[in-house]
Amino acid sequence: MRLAECTLCILLATQVSVTAGLDPRVLDVDKEKSRAKPGSRMTSRDRDTIHNWVSWYASEGPGASGKSKLGLRQPINREPKYFHEPSGPGGGHYDKRYFRRFIEEKQRNQHLKYLIRAWLEWTQKQNIETWLAHGTLLGWWWSSEILPWDSDLDVQVSEATLKNLAETYNMTTWSWAFEDGNVKKDYLLDINPYWTDRQRSSTSNLIDGRWVDKSSGLFIDITGLSETHPDSRPGIVTCKNMHRYHVNEIYPLRPAQFEDYQAYVPYAFDKVLIQEYRSKAFTLTEYDKYQWQPALNTWVKKENLQPRKLVTLRNGKKMKIKEDEPRGLEAVPKPTLMQNLQRLVRYWQ
């Protein structure tokens, strides 16, 4: 009889919902987030719900103590990954919630143009300070355009701006109509609830926010810069991905044109880019399958630039050589060292 009672207890325990032991605030998070309507702002109650959940998770949630009931040491994971991407090659550049399919390069570039244009217009209308960063900043330096091989975009904000985005605009959707082709798109501003942890505690949440194209899943990564060690490293600001700058390298921001719209770049953009990509970022005129063409002020695919054909040499070896009659853009000469130096000086002025 005793054995039957124990067996019955075990069976009942295994049927209990996995959410039974969770704090009710955890179950409310998705409900609160789903209430955000297009163009609406998160209420103080919404923000408090997520804030309370984050606080509960850190202090009482799974793995908070670091030990199991048996006293064995368990891995601590106080910050589960917030943003998720689809699996597969190239999946890391799509938001999983809105991913439909992988987009071809040419079409993807057009989506990204709309994406950055909407971000720049929206931030200026809301009087929000932001500037281009990483590969997006490098694309501005070369041609004031998105690099053709880029599959996502990067911008940075100050910690104060990040706080404003989280408290005022988080989880709001904004519709944008573009003049060319009467294209209309919806963009979601999503700030990572772990943005308040300004030091790198794990690699799960290096990105503080995203501006997401809901029609494709493509996004802009938003990272905040904070002065994490004001006593030992005053004036040094950093993001969670360990990019460090002196505030004088960032401010005052320089106005610039990017994708035919008003943008801003760091004051010492040259130093910022050299720190991240080294000086070759200013002189390397071939990357992957692209080559820089100064006469066109853009990057062009090599197969379009230098058509070649397979020929058999006298010794029997086969080699791809340039065709005798130049076609298309291959007649445009490569930039000289002096041209590259002149370009660098022009941007320093």
pLDDT, one tens digit per residue, over 10-69 is 444 444 333 333 333 233 333 333 333 334 444 433 433 333 333 333 333 333 333 333
d(CA 208, CA 240): 9
Output phi, psi for 244, to 5 deg: -115, 140
**Global pTM exceeds 0.85:** no
Pairing of strands 308-312, 318-322: antiparallel
pLDDT at 171 over 80: yes
Mean per-residue pLDDT over the chain, rounded = 77
| Helix (H), strand (E), coil (C) string for 201-250 | CCCCCCCCEEEEECCCCCEEEEEEEECCCCCCCCCEEECCCCCEEEHHHH
Output phi, psi for 175, to 5 deg: -95, 140
CA distances, 241 to each of 181, 194, 198, 238, 244 (Å)? 38, 14, 11, 8, 9
**How high is the pLDDT of residue 267?**
97
pLDDT digits (tens, 9 = 90+) for 108-130: 999 999 999 999 999 999 999 99
Q: Region 271-280: what's the mean pLDDT?
A: 93
Which residues share a beta bridge with 223? Answer: 156
d(CA 72, CA 129): 48
